[in-house]
Amino acid sequence: MGTPRETRQAQAETVVDRLEAEYPDSTISLRYSNRLELLIAVILSAQCTDERVNQETKKLFEKYDGPEDYANAAQDDLAEDLNSITYYNNKAKYIRSACETILEDHDGEVPDTMDELTDLSGVGRKTANVVLQHGHDVVEGIVVDTHVQRLSQRLGLTEEERPERIEEELIEIVPEDYWQQFTHLCIDHGRAVCTARNPDCGDCVLADICPSEKGDSEIDLAAGEPW
Ligand code: SF4
């Protein structure tokens, strides 16, 4: 078990510093070439790997060009084009409906406010934050996905369970300049070292400050259970 810094703010700053040194090129791994493609890729990425989404969108973005194409597509056809993605039927519905709203209410453009984005079908705060950050250069919050959630809990940055509450706490302690990058750093570290089932604490640059470190710790603070 490592010894966390005295305050959560100091802990967050140290985490950012160390992970930034470890992953200097950390960034979003979804592929897209415009805001609508970004929105669609993020909707598709819920409960699905970015790698799978990138495979599927390669063909999708060649076939569909703009919100009209999605809004006018038959539900069955669009679902068929997404059928290697988890929950493809629902996601096809969300995408068609979101594109109808984009055409009717936003002149065919992906909106640039949290309220307007979260009014679109299939778009929650997490998806909206990603689109704002990477599509509009607007950083209003911190994207809390499964990696951010797990690492923040393990590292003692939060004891909250719900992503919305975790985001509220992280916003208080992560330096504002790093709100966007914090997510990508956690994702990279969560994939490479601090995996859900078998974190490699012996090879972790955060081991000395991590209260979940497996050395002589008995508790995974993300699961709330002994290792
Ligand atoms: S790999 Fe281990 S030491 Fe590193 S952050 Fe995860 S739980 Fe903590």
pLDDT classification of 217: cutoffs 50, 70, 90: low
CATH of the structural domain 8-26+143-221, one choice from 4.10.95.10, 1.10.1670.10, 3.40.50.300, 1.10.3720.10: 1.10.1670.10
pLDDT of amino acid 216: 72
**Domain ranges for the chain:** 8-26+143-221, 35-136
Which residue in the list 91, 126, 188, 214 is annotated as catalytic?
126
pLDDT classification of 226: cutoffs 50, 70, 90: confident
Which residue in the list 50, 81, 119, 145 is annotated as catalytic?
145
* Catalytic annotation present for 126: yes
CB atoms within 10 A of CB 204: 20
pTM of the model as a whole: 0.86
Ligand 1 centroid vs 159 CA: distance in angstroms? 16
pLDDT of amino acid 225: 85
Ligand 1 site, CB within 6 A: 154-155, 193-194, 199-201, 204, 206-207, 210, 212-214
- Of 67, 73, 61, the C-alpha closest to 30 is 61
Distance between CA 67 and CA 14 in Å, rounded? 43
Provide the mean pLDDT of the chain: 95
Distance between CA 56 and CA 58 in Å, rounded? 5
pLDDT of amino acid 218: 74
How far out from the chain centre does Cα 40 lie?
14
In CATH terms, the superfamily for domain 35-136 is Hypothetical protein; domain 2 (1.10.340.30)
Ligand 1 centroid vs 210 CA: distance in angstroms? 6
Reported in sequence order, the residue ranges of 1-100 that DSSP labels E, i.e. its strands, are: none
The stretch 43-66 carries a mean pLDDT of 96
* Catalytic annotation present for 145: yes
pLDDT classification of 223: cutoffs 50, 70, 90: confident
State pLDDT tens for residues 155-211: 999 999 999 999 999 999 999 999 999 999 999 999 999 999 999 999 999 999 999
pLDDT of amino acid 227: 85
